[in-house]
Structure 1
Amino acid sequence: MIAKRLVAIFNDKDESNVKSLEKCIKEIKGIKKLKYQPIVQNNEIGSKIVKMFESRRLAPTFFFVDPWGYKGLSLRLVNSVLKDWGCDCVFFFNYNRINMGISNELVQEHMEALFGEEQLALLNKKLKRKKSHERELIIVEELCQSLKSYGSRYTLPFRFKNASGTRTQHHLIFVSKHFKGYELMKEIMAKESSSQNQGVATFEYNPADIMPGQSLLFKLSMSVDNLTKMLLSAYAGKRATVRQIYEAHSIDTPFIKKNYKEALLKLEESGKIIASHHKKNSMGDNVEIIFKTNRK
């Protein structure tokens, strides 16, 4: 039972926020049923907290970081939690403040802690003379790549737009070392997306999603038709199960498992793949797929 195993720790550097949070927690119905009562701390996130995490072996932990802007958010902080088994991280990425800080020498130390010294230098070169929507794509992409190079394999961004749908407010970025964590979060984010293209989620919450022509982060406007073409190219002449294809190919794409099954059913119907026995209009994880060799 989770009530006997859950340990919840909250931290905020603002003392008034801490008191308000403590009051809200006490008012939660059934809170006393928890074996371990929530802990609320009043500390500023910095090297001291990072060193504490680095020196401890953590139990499976879901770590949520919401810095005000960028201070305290670093690759080292994320890695200090992800180093242990069963630990995942979601952090609030204040794109607007970080976009302004990237070329600001006064906050260069914070930017280097977030992107890495070499990556920050390369990022500044890439951003020269770029339009605003191009800057966003590049910045989030570079952050995700920096997280991967630091030892975290799976990253997944989710974008939030303002009420009119014209500007990005912030991103939530998920980081995990294990495909299972990535898979579960991808399913959750897909369900919370404002819109879909042929059943493929956009991975953004946009209150004004009816607006045409908006650019999508990481080209998340791809459809199942795009996926069928990608699979034919990537797996020509190869053999693999549905699950193996999904796990190997879905990383850094907007596609979830049901999208892969739909794409494979389309390819089977068109005679471009051969599938082992399966029920009509369904494609189990263990169904074996043989892709025909592309002929030029």
Structure 2
Amino acid sequence: MKSADKENVSGKPLSNSQHPTGKMCMPCPFDNFSDGTLYTRYNILNVLETRPFNLIDPAHEFKLLTNTEKALEEDIMMKFSNEVSRFAAACMNSRTNGTIHFGVCDNLRGEIKGIKVSKKEAYVDLLNKLIGKYFNEQYTSVAKACIKELRFVEVLLQNRTPPHMFVIEIDVVPKHCSCDTKYFCTNTYKYKSKSWKKAVFVQYGASSKSIQNTKEFETFKGILTSLADSHKRAEEEYKLKQKKSINEGLKLVSLLTGNRDSLDSSYYDYYILVSPDATQVKLHI
């Protein structure tokens, strides 16, 4: 009998009780494409799939893209497109930053599985095409500014070998300078009727919903200007905090180096670095 902490090599799917116990891990930094983060299969993303309590911290949504083994690639791409446009429009209308993660279980607390990606370029091309297909023409430039490029995060097995699988992540950043006081109506594809339908999506708990042709839509339009103003203030406050953080970092560098260009023994005899867990710390020198 195989132990639960070894990767299954038989090709048969494991039950939830047979999967290795995953560790908690942090997602890739928001709106960052140079971090170099890797995920490990069956680990758990340490973020809640819910709307945050402010307008700056990103909302997270997980999608596994299940039942794709026998599906046509065209159908998979259509499902991917629908989910991206829905999530992006919901973030833009709710003025909430957000990340949608494809290849992460949405019914198992954010367990990382990964999805097979044969051609990254196919997803990149699809993202560029779907904006014009799903968003009204007058808002395509706004959508392109808010929907960031795809981030392919490699998923390693428990033994740290690559299974050639990825988590695909897309960040949405609805800046006030782009969205202003607009709301965004999108086209969404209905699989059962095989037709297109208008929708106005907003963030709702751990997911999103369309409020098109509802009383909630009229209420939403009434508070949109106030919501946009709140998001603008939140952006300004966040920028001030970031600037203060950078200034404090420069002060620390100045103290350590004696206001010189390099760190050596000419200013202090000893430097002591204290870390709670040096094996997990990345040092950039």
TM-score by length of 2: 0.27
TM-score by length of 1: 0.26
Larger RCO, structure (CA 8 Å, separation 6 or more): 2
